[in-house]
Structure 1
Amino acid sequence: MDLTHQASTALPVFDSASPVSLEFKGSGSEYFRIWIVNLLLSILTLGIYSAWAKVRRNRYFYSNTSLAGSSFEYHGNAIAILKGRIVALVFVLAYQLAFKHSLTLGLLMMAILASVMPWLVWKSLQFKLYNSSYRGIRFGFRGDAAQAYVTYLLWPLLALFSMYLLAPFMHQRIKRFQHNESRFGATHFSFDGKVKSFYWCYLVGFGIMLAGLVVISLVFGGAAFAALSAIRKGHIGSAIIFPIIGFFLALYLWMFAVYPIFLTLLQNLIWNHTKLGEHQFSSHLKWGRMTSIMLTNILGIVCTLGLFIPFAQVRALRYRVENLSLQMNGSLDHFIAVTEEQVSATGEGMADLLDFDISL
């Protein structure tokens, strides 16, 4: 496939001294029409159309996401996605049937899944990046299978055996692999986030969650415990049930309030330590706004029996995209032109590697 691209003279010129923010121009009402058709056709075809639904969805989101006046493009093949989903379905069914037959067979199937999963993730990363482009230049992924097995099998096992004390270490290694091995044309991304920074995010998130649990227990715990004692003695009534409901509802809402904090910390950490060549990304999400979007999205989805889902997805994506920017080290147009020359010179042959997507 020809990866060259002729730059348009109509493209805007941006000052390299100022960060260039990404933009998202999609709307909930537009995406709702795509979403509802995708949903209905997927149901009618017993899930087969879901591969084509993913292509339509990604093309909409990519085409409405732009940087410096140019939008991204998605080139994924629905047949490749369908192949990945069939493979995933076969593994899931085999896993369930194996455990129904015997524990030994189930554990054997679990081991097989664990041994295959890193390869599937690796192929999926290749597929996703190669089928994404900007100004006619494809992204790519250079990581190999051996690195994938270290990243997605060795580190998760070590995290498991450490009672997840190594989870932040594993997270840092995963992001380092994903970002360091990704490229735009012939220009590689890089990631320099430290393990200690991931531990700090996890500790802050866990500390805030624990503090909230303590406060909720102090405020609601006594009444809930007294209500449970009354129920054990056979006293049941609305005055007794309400304290228990209030306690668990407060816990539930607090979990939803904590998650945006953790998500905000991680996204800012990851993108503030990611570069494309010499060009620095930056993310400046705010926890308050993230929490507001998430809680109102949940409320909207519940009140509309799920019909608000496409609007919720657009709202969340717009906020995350538009708070991501790229600090150019030089002119963006010069960077694109140089990248075009490098891609044309290298002439990559990737077709044999990119016919499979596990759709993770």
Structure 2
Amino acid sequence: MLNPDELLAKTDFPGKDLSAPEAFEFTGSGSEYFRIWIVNLLLTIVTLGVYSAWAKVRKTRYFYDNTILAGASFEYHGSPMSILRGRLVALAFFGAYNIAFMISDTAGFAALALLGAAIPWLIWKSLQFKLYNSSYRGIRFGFGGTAGKVYLTYLVLPLATLLSAYLLAPFTHQRIKKFQHEHSRYGGTSFSFHASAGSFYKAYLIAFLVALGGLVAIAAAFGGTFAAIIKAGSPKDAGAAAVGTILIFLLVVYAWLFSLLPLFLTLIQNLIWNHTHLGNHRFMSRMRVGKMAFIALSNMIGIVATLGLFIPFAQIRTMRYRIESMAILPSGSLDDFIADAQENASSTGEAAADLLDFDLSL
């Protein structure tokens, strides 16, 4: 694993006079977040889901408040009522879809088409709400984009991916991240994204080859049992031991595929953030597959052993590693950049708040 200096030496970077990397910190604790999580869960159940909007705000604010960069934390400004209104709108969409199918198949498919057409717009409004209601050092983030690009990214490309038997999945993934990052801004400064579609295909190919290699090895290890079953004609004729072995085989396959999630998550996070800039400032992610796999496996064991009570601790452990694996590589003084962003922030316009007063997040 390259350290920041080695990475900079090997990477073409457009900025000048890079300062020392500013690492992200996460100060949340499992025991502290457990209290928030359990109260959110109980009140959401008691209120039949209504409190979930307030629960989302409490959870998001906790994670924002405990994410530190250069001595300052992030802030979340979303209101529970805005989120509740958004969820009621989303519920109305899905309710109309279900009712339409009760009326007739024609009405149902028409409602399905309308829902599919609405989803890209819902995603767009969700991104706008989330970014506008996030800030750092008093400066808000923002999200732009156009309806045409939204529908190309979230409707046309996913449909093309489906029709291509998912061969276009890495390309679509790259275009989605490019759209998200290049239309995001901090104050008046825009983000940019430089990862190619080829690099996404490479990440997907690595994950696929590792998955395939593991499945081949597992199949080889159980080959004798399968040969005996084939010879006997059925698992029942092969005996109880063969049936038990098949169950173990399925469990091992499931565990192997589950263990690939940390690999893919690590590859993608590093790929995305190592190719993201904010103005002339660059981000860096140094997640390691082994460490992420250990966290995921131990989290799963903890959740199963505690019947779910370990979930908030698992979330904190995962979030801490993902956040603290990241740093920003400033082009010059980060304080000067913040001051410039503050001056340019007014150009984004506070009037946007009136258009983003409800969260349509799905």
Q: TM-score, normalised by structure 2?
A: 0.91
2:250 aligned residue: 248
1:314 aligned residue: 316
Which whole-Å CA distance do the structure 2 matches of 1:176 and 1:350 have between them?
A: 23
Do the aligned partners of residues 73 and 225 (structure 1) sit closer, same or farther apart at CA in structure 2, a change above 3 Å counting?
A: farther
Question: Which range moves more in the overlay, 109-118 or 342-351?
Answer: 342-351
Q: Deviations over 1:71-108 (max 9, x none)?
A: 00000011111112122222333333444554333322
1:195 to 194, 197, 204: 197
Q: Deviations over 1:14-57 (max 9, x none)?
A: x9522111000000000000000000000000000000000000
1:278 to 268, 277, 280: 280
Which whole-Å CA distance do the structure 2 matches of 1:310 and 1:357 have between them?
A: 24
Which whole-Å CA distance do the structure 2 matches of 1:193 and 1:247 have between them?
A: 38
2:351 aligned residue: 349
1:44 to 22, 43, 46: 46
1:258 to 232, 257, 260: 260
Amino acid at match of 2:105: L
Amino acid at match of 2:134: S
Describe the SS at the equivalent of 1:138. Answer: strand
Do the aligned partners of residues 169 and 180 (structure 1) sit closer, same or farther apart at CA in structure 2, a change above 3 Å counting?
A: same
Do the aligned partners of residues 97 and 331 (structure 1) sit closer, same or farther apart at CA in structure 2, a change above 3 Å counting?
A: same
Which whole-Å CA distance do the structure 2 matches of 1:220 and 1:132 have between them?
A: 51
Which whole-Å CA distance do the structure 2 matches of 1:217 and 1:249 have between them?
A: 13
1:171 aligned residue: 173
Q: Deviations over 1:99-145 (max 9, x none)?
A: 45543333222211110000000000000000000000000001122
Which whole-Å CA distance do the structure 2 matches of 1:358 and 1:167 have between them?
A: 25
1:26 aligned residue: 28
Map 1:140-155 to 2 at 5 A: 140-155=142-157
Tell me how far 1:231 sits from its aligned partner: 8.2
1:288 aligned residue: 290
- Any stretches of 5+ residues in structure 1 without a counterpart? 1-14
Do the aligned partners of residues 347 and 207 (structure 1) sit closer, same or farther apart at CA in structure 2, a change above 3 Å counting?
A: same
Give the CA RMSD over aligned residues. 1.8
Amino acid at match of 1:232: S
Which whole-Å CA distance do the structure 2 matches of 1:270 and 1:287 have between them?
A: 15
- How many residue pairs match? The answer is 346
1:82 to 61, 81, 84: 84
1:301 and 1:309 in contact (8 A); partners too: yes
Amino acid at match of 1:86: L
Do the aligned partners of residues 242 and 106 (structure 1) sit closer, same or farther apart at CA in structure 2, a change above 3 Å counting?
A: same
Tell me how far 1:259 sits from its aligned partner: 1.2
Residues 1:116 and 2:118 aligned together? yes
Which whole-Å CA distance do the structure 1 matches of 2:234 and 2:346 have between them?
A: 75
2:72 aligned residue: 70
Do the aligned partners of residues 352 and 251 (structure 1) sit closer, same or farther apart at CA in structure 2, a change above 3 Å counting?
A: same
| Poorly superposed stretches of 4+, deviation over 6 Å | none
